[in-house]
Amino acid sequence: MKTKSIYILALLIPFIIGFQSCYKADGPQLSERQDISQTDSEIVLKKIEDFKEKLDFVRITPGTKSGFETIDIITAEWHVEALANYMYADAGFDFEHVQFGTASVSVPLTDGEVSFIHLLQLYDELAQHILNQSDAINSDNKQLIVADVFIEDQQEDIAVFGITSGFAIGGPGFGWLYNSPWYWGWDLGRCDGSGTGAPLDAADIIRIQANIEVPTPAESFYTDVSFFESFGCLHQNQNGDCFLFEDFQEFELIHACLSPAEITMYKNNVHTLANMHKPSNKTVVLYDVWDDTAFALCGTYPNQYDCWFMVHFLKVTYGIWHQRPIEQ
């Protein structure tokens, strides 16, 4: 993975600090929202279908009363995310790589709520972001796995919605490389003397292996997306061992070489961390593992010297799983 050259405190501090409509309209109505975590897929699918029908009605009749009907932004956030995943995602796609993209869309508010005409604008712009990200990926073997829609900012008369979309990319198959030692990061490839495997590194192999072991049936999607993040020794087992790779070096940089056994250990730790922090009503969607380095000067002036802090980062995506109905 690409290494980012940033100062050690800039690298660590962010991860340490914080790891009804208003009236009846003349068009289709949304189902009364329930606690999604306690409902089954049939109820969720009904909510999504009602929302899609409502947007389609506003799209073809923008000047009618339905377009000016409003809903609160929390309800809007859930419905837009659910519909985007229902329409574009297939969580059961087999892959070896994942690529994330982000975008933001601002919509005006009326008394703290968003109208359906602006909700349609929001959904269309976020959907276009998904299509643009797909077009930018140079592969025919790709699929949106999950989209997370969230409220990025809210002011009195405007709300900013963000989207993080995770695209899966199929690969040629790296199974024959799994039994080799790999450099910890920096896209350095295998460290068995062959010099092959670049631009992959141990972080990539850990991510690939962990994702392959996430079982998800085809034609399925997720709602209520959430995340967990960790890095290096932030989380440790009862023996004080770090769940993820971490290394600190001074004076001379010698890149660590991870053996197949160590790679398997860290891969298993990824699953362990994910299960430890998994919400009770959700499942793992996918993992992202990458390497990063903080370049610093250690010691006291004028006798300072180079030092490096190197870690693996983990981001786990969770969601509530649903099976997409089979079209008759």
Q: Are 44 and 130 in contact (CB under 8 A)?
A: no
Tell me which of 169, 193, 221 is where a domain ends: 169
Q: What pLDDT was estimated at residue 74?
A: 94
CA dist 136 and 102 (Å) reads 13
Residues 178 and 124 occupy one common structural domain? no
Residue 97, strand partner residues: 169
Residue of 265, 284, 257, 121 lying closest to 180 (CA atoms): 257
Instruction: Please indicate, yes or no, if residue 217 is contained in any of the structural domains.
Output: yes
CA dist 323 and 98 (Å) reads 22
CA dist 275 and 277 (Å) reads 5
Residues 217 and 256 occupy one common structural domain? yes
CA dist 156 and 5 (Å) reads 38
How crowded is residue 275: how many other Cβ atoms within 10 Å of its Cβ?
A: 10
Q: What pLDDT was estimated at residue 42?
A: 83
Find the Cα–Cα–Cα–Cα dihedral 191, 181, 237, 307, rounded to 10°. Answer: 0
Q: Are 70 and 110 in contact (CB under 8 A)?
A: yes
Q: What pLDDT was estimated at residue 30?
A: 52
Instruction: Please indicate, yes or no, if residue 328 is contained in any of the structural domains.
Output: no
Instruction: Please indicate, yes or no, if residue 187 is contained in any of the structural domains.
Output: yes
Q: What pLDDT was estimated at residue 140?
A: 87
What are the per-10-residue average pLDDT scores of the chain (328 residues)?
41 44 41 48 89 93 82 94 94 81 93 93 94 91 93 93 90 63 91 80 92 81 94 94 94 91 95 95 92 91 90 95 72
Instruction: Please indicate, yes or no, if residue 127 is contained in any of the structural domains.
Output: yes
Q: Are 293 and 248 in contact (CB under 8 A)?
A: no
Q: What pLDDT was estimated at residue 87?
A: 94
How far is C-alpha 103 from the chain's CA centre? 13
The domain tally of the chain equals 2
Find tokens 């910890």 and name the residue: 184
Instruction: Please indicate, yes or no, if residue 266 is contained in any of the structural domains.
Output: yes
Residues 242 and 145 occupy one common structural domain? no
Residues 156 and 187 occupy one common structural domain? no
Residue of 115, 102, 103, 101 lying closest to 158 (CA atoms): 115
The tens digit of pLDDT for each residue in 285-324 reads 999 999 999 999 998 888 888 999 999 999 999 999 888 7
Residues 187 and 88 occupy one common structural domain? no
CA dist 263 and 259 (Å) reads 6
Q: Are 191 and 257 in contact (CB under 8 A)?
A: yes
CA dist 62 and 44 (Å) reads 26
Residues 157 and 184 occupy one common structural domain? no
Instruction: Please indicate, yes or no, if residue 194 is contained in any of the structural domains.
Output: yes
Residues 85 and 114 occupy one common structural domain? yes
Residues 40 and 153 occupy one common structural domain? yes
Tokens of 205: 């192999």
Residues 96 and 190 occupy one common structural domain? no
Residue of 76, 177, 95 lying closest to 137 (CA atoms): 95
Residue 306, strand partner residues: 297
CA dist 84 and 133 (Å) reads 14
Tell me which of 116, 148, 169 is where a domain ends: 169
CA dist 230 and 316 (Å) reads 9
The tens digit of pLDDT for each residue in 72-104 reads 999 999 999 999 999 999 888 877 778 899 999
Residues 229 and 151 occupy one common structural domain? no
Structural domain containing residue 210: 5-15+173-323
Q: What pLDDT was estimated at residue 278?
A: 95
DSSP 8-state class, residue 176: G
Q: What pLDDT was estimated at residue 313?
A: 97
Residues 212 and 142 occupy one common structural domain? no
pTM of the model: 0.78
Instruction: Please indicate, yes or no, if residue 153 is contained in any of the structural domains.
Output: yes
Tell me which of 169, 186, 215 is where a domain ends: 169
Residues 101 and 114 occupy one common structural domain? yes
Q: What pLDDT was estimated at residue 237?
A: 92
